Amino acid sequence: MKYLLLLVLLSCGKNTSYVYNNKQISSAVTRESHTVVGDGGQVDILWVIDNSGSMSDIQQDVIANADKFMQEFLKNNSLDWKMGLLSTSEDEQPYLGFATLFDRKDKDPVATFGAAVSRLGTSGSGTEKDFKPVMDKLNQYKSFLRPSAYLILVFVTDEFEQSDITAQNFMADMVAKKSGRAQMIRAYGAFHAKDFGCSGTYDQLVYAGSVFEEVINATNGKAYSTCTPDFGIQLASLGNDIVAAISSPVILLSKRPLVSTLKVLYKGAELPAGPQSAGGLWIYDPDANGVRFHNMDFVDFNVKAVEIEFQVDQGQ
């Protein structure tokens, strides 16, 4: 009788239709070491410039203002950049930066870039393709993209994209080439477009609703007009924006953290988190799943590693 009463008491207070497990999920602690450098970083810049018959004036504007675009790259000694140049003619080989390297070690990068744009000419295909040459040449020259580098795409054209490739498929291919890190890609464009106030006699581009707009919006890039009197200033702004985008270094984490447990240590001391205006040196970027530094002024040239410690977010 005592045993029967004990069983009845034990069963009271819980619904016996369910299995109860009071064991707490333990949060694994992850510690990662990452090498950091001073302001700068790696960036692979790929230009795609239309070389059809209507592009002479625009190409000449790019050449004349190449120094304005390059000025931020040239004065930032810690920025590890390299560039390539493709045309919109599908069957043409790259004009710069693929078979031979074009990077910060070039003795006169402004002249080298200008000469390459001059070689494009205006005898290219009237079926202007921007996406397909990028996909094909990056497949052919696999060493062009460096694993840790940002990928910057710059399209210069007065025509619709005619590769018959959707913006979604193009972006999927680019993201796959960056090992799934969409945050490492940014697209820009300099367009001779009707809705930018440009006039022309050809079947001219309308930017709004185009695949260019989709890709640029998807990557937080920017579009510029080629028909403004201050095109040189526009190119300088483009260069400045690229440098600004990659000069706030991000360390990508291997797992998603419980943000409240996230710590960043340098030389054994914890670095303060939060907005720069409040004295913070870093913030957590949920979109990138990474630690984003406001600047790298704290880095000693001789000690280039930070330690990042956090508990893994297991969804509990």
Give pLDDT, residue 2.
44
Q: What is the pLDDT of residue 15?
A: 45
The percentage of the chain sitting over the pLDDT mark of 90, rounded to a whole number, equals 58
Count CB atoms within 10 A of the CB of residue 167: 19
Q: Which residues of the chain are in CATH 3.40.50.410 domains?
A: 41-246
What value does the mean pLDDT of the chain take? Answer: 85
Q: Any idea which of 37-41, 227-231, 239-243 has the lowest mean pLDDT?
A: 37-41
Q: With bands split at pLDDT 50, 70 and 90, how would you rate the model's confidence at 257?
A: very high
302 against 64, higher pLDDT: 64
78 or 5, which is more confident? Answer: 78
Res 9: pLDDT? 37
Residue 3's pLDDT is 41
Is the pLDDT score of 49 beyond 70? yes
Nearest to 235 by CA among 61, 5, 38: 61
Q: Tell me the two tokens of residue 217.
A: 């919006």
Given the DSSP bridges, would you call strands 79-87 and 41-49 parallel, antiparallel or unpaired?
Answer: parallel
Q: Is the pLDDT of residue 1 over 50?
A: no
Q: Could you tell me how far CA 234 lies from the centroid of its own chain?
A: 20
Backbone angles phi, psi at 195, to 5 degrees: -80, 0
Of the pLDDT bands very low, low, confident and very high (cuts 50, 70, 90), residue 316 is: low
pLDDT in tens, 64-88: 999 988 887 887 766 789 999 999 9
Whole-Å CA distances, 274 to 32, 150, 261, 265, 292: 20, 25, 14, 14, 10
Q: What is the pTM of this model?
A: 0.71
Q: Where are the beta strands (DSSP E) in 218-301?
A: 222-225, 250-252, 263-266, 269-270, 282-285, 290-293
Residue 250's SS3 state is: strand
d(CA 75, CA 109): 12
Distance CA 249, CA 37 (A): 9
Q: Given CATH 2.40.30.10, say whether it is the number of domain 41-246.
A: no
Q: What is the tens place of the pLDDT at every residue in 192-229?
A: 999 998 987 566 899 999 999 999 999 989 999 998 88
